[in-house]
Amino acid sequence: MQQRPESTDRPDNRAAGDAAVPIISLRDIRKTFHRGTLAVEVLHGLSLDIHAGEFVAIMGTSGSGKSTLMNLIGLLDRPTSGSYRFDGAEVSALGPDARALLRREAFGFIFQQYNLLPSESATANVEMPAIYAGLPRGERRSRAEMLLTKLGLGDRMDHRPTQLSGGQQQRVSIARALMNGGAVILADEPTGALDSKSGAEVMQLLHDLNDQGHTILLITHDHEVAAQAKRIVEIRDGLIISDRMQPAPEAAAPPATPPVPPKRPQRGRGSGYGLFDVTEAGRMAVQALRSNLLRTLLTLLGIIIGVASVVAMLAIGEGARKSVLDRISAMGTNLLLVRPGAPNIRRADGITATLVAEDAEAILSLPNIAAAVPEYPGSVTIRVANRDYSTVANATTADFPKAHDWPVQEGLFFNSEDVKSYAPVAVLGLTVVKNVFPDTPDPVGRYVLLNNIPFQVIGVMSAKGATPWGADQDDIIYVPLTTGTLRLFGQRYVKTITVQAEDVAKIDATQEAVRDLLIARHKTEDFQIRNMASIIATATETQNTLTILLGSIAAISLLVGGIGVMNIMLVSVTERTREIGVRMATGARRLNIMMQFNSEALAICTLGGLIGIAIGLGTVWLFATLGRPVVYSPEPVLLAFFCAFATGLLFGYLPARKAADLDPVVALAAE
């Protein structure tokens, strides 16, 4: 479908520079947006020429495609097909960094909502494009102050956007657009958020800029605003339906100033990456962290704790060892774990199958037995609506909460009747709930699919946390033994039997009784029994193993701190999406954005590492003062600091890359 211009009564006697190659030349531009499998073409083979020094209003109703056209002209987006030549050179296929360089040197953006950084002063907002152009700090500050003074904001340079009126904020936006020259000014509804007086002032500024030789592209839906331009291009449904010149006032004289030519990116002005970029990234990172001190301090806390724990745990072996033993003891000292163990009795598929649920019933009849719980854990996929999650289902009996001292937080655990009747019910761990019901506070009563078999959720287990070796005990689903072995796993044997002794002092005798019973039932010793009390005694004697474990726990705490940094940085990227879009629109390249956000993570981890070392050494000193044996050594300190530094690089990379990979036009549209 071809565009249908209503009229093209533009005279041939253009201003100097217009008679040459158009500064903007679009040919058969099409833009298609994809929403899943649906493709929507917004621009339908549009062609347009704009010469240097023109004042063009691109007018259309909402949804006409005018904003999409502006984004394409400003290199914030790229066409699906067609040719876009800027100042005679094809630019439609340029890569992200090349487009950023051209935006930096040729375009200035004026947005309806101003898009000023709230944490920066008016001067700092105006300076932003020059930072990415590699202009030294003193030079760019002088130019920013000159532009603000010229626009009547000489007494508002140190004010933040919240301290300025709408008209003043738009003037700051105009100054920012002119910072690198702004041969082409793209003004997107510049008066839309202003009162009539401020709007008139902004339009007068645009006229003044046009008289000085700047090419002005005004995007608007307002006929009165568009009428102030020298040329009006009207768009409807992705097509140009009218392209006409406005009649010049009788007294109007041709402008004496020639059109402002676009600059060409030069390597000396920041096209490469060097010390300047790193320094500026660090400065902006510190400024961003200072603007949200509370979040920075909370993020620092994770790194501080991690580093301090590395230093303290490696120096205070006995205290750390006691902490680990306490965690192991919390699992239960009165438990016997019966597992299949005869190496010569295996099924053809390699699975050991020597224990059955009837063995647990027989064990329950022995003296000093409080509970005997058969269990069959296996991998399953839980599905809720269109959300899938892989976890572990444990087919067991109603005595499981009693044996493991693990109560239900919400709802109920299944009972013996549910087990007997093969009831399709399930009790979820908290990690599973968080992953499959993120927006549902109480999943009890809901239905889920386990391996495509429907189960009703009747309860949610209380938080159990991680095991001493780091496994998430809350990432599990409990189902009746009969239902699970029949419908989920198709097996009648069990993988373990957990036996709870009533009196831990008699647990060794109880272990022998269980052993004798199972030998009598199986006619052979095809199982193994692990005594939790014996495990604790063995762990106490294994000093070297626990020393390694202490170091591992300290490393995990630092890892958790690093994950916290990554999480906060990801949140920061989400919250600052529009800021990222503004920085890209003013010339920031992908590496500029990556360096800024990675520098923030690195600054947090480095500072947190230094503070953590101080706290860790203080803790060691305190323990030494209290008479505990400690060993001062520089190796753990250096290791802890290196780990903190590496954590900043590693866990800052993903958020930084996410920020750098944002599409400028999408980022600018973020709320």
Place of tokens 């060409």: 264
Residue type, 537: A
When mean pLDDT is compared across 170-184, 221-235, 251-265, 507-521, the lowest value belongs to 251-265
* 264, two tokens: 């060409």
523, burial (CB in 10 Å: exposed 0-12, middle 13-18, buried 19+): exposed
Q: Is the pLDDT of residue 361 over 70?
A: yes
Task: Write the pLDDT tens digit of every residue in 128-145.
Answer: 888 888 888 888 889 888
Q: Is the pLDDT of residue 109 over 80?
A: yes
Q: What percent of the chain has pLDDT over 70?
A: 85
In whole numbers, what is the pLDDT of the chain averaged over residues?
82
Please report which confidence band the pLDDT of residue 56 belongs to, taking 50, 70 and 90 as the band edges.
very high
- State the pLDDT at residue 533: 67
271, burial (CB in 10 Å: exposed 0-12, middle 13-18, buried 19+): middle
Please report which confidence band the pLDDT of residue 264 belongs to, taking 50, 70 and 90 as the band edges.
low
- State the pLDDT at residue 442: 85
How many other CB atoms are there within 10 angstroms of residue 60's CB atom? Answer: 23
Q: Which sign, positive or negative, has the C-alpha torsion 118, 120, 123, 125?
A: negative
- State the pLDDT at residue 411: 93
Full-model pTM:
0.57
Summarize the confidence of residues 204-228 as an average pLDDT: 88
- State the pLDDT at residue 318: 58
When mean pLDDT is compared across 79-93, 293-307, 531-545, the lowest value belongs to 531-545
Please report which confidence band the pLDDT of residue 429 belongs to, taking 50, 70 and 90 as the band edges.
very high
Task: Write the pLDDT tens digit of every residue in 441-467.
Answer: 789 999 999 999 999 999 999 988 777
Q: Is the pLDDT of residue 276 over 50?
A: yes
- State the pLDDT at residue 140: 86
Task: For 14, list phi and psi in degrees, rounded to 5.
Answer: -85, 165
**Dihedral angle, C-alpha 102, 108, 110, 113, nearest 10 °:** 50
Q: Is the pLDDT of residue 8 over 50?
A: no
Q: Is the pLDDT of residue 418 over 90?
A: yes
**Residue 578, CA distances (Å) to 69, 226, 572 in order:** 20, 27, 11
Q: Is the pLDDT of residue 210 over 90?
A: no
- State the pLDDT at residue 15: 39
Task: Write the pLDDT tens digit of every residue in 562-590.
Answer: 787 888 788 878 878 888 888 888 888 88
Domain with CATH 3.40.50.300 in the chain: 24-247
- State the pLDDT at residue 513: 93
Summarize the confidence of residues 480-485 as an average pLDDT: 94
Can you tell me whether residue 270 is helix, strand or coil? coil
Does the domain formed by 24-247 have CATH 3.40.920.10? no
Can you tell me whether residue 64 is helix, strand or coil? coil
Higher pLDDT, 320 or 548: 548
* 365, two tokens: 């009849």
Summarize the confidence of residues 28-54 as an average pLDDT: 88
- State the pLDDT at residue 391: 94
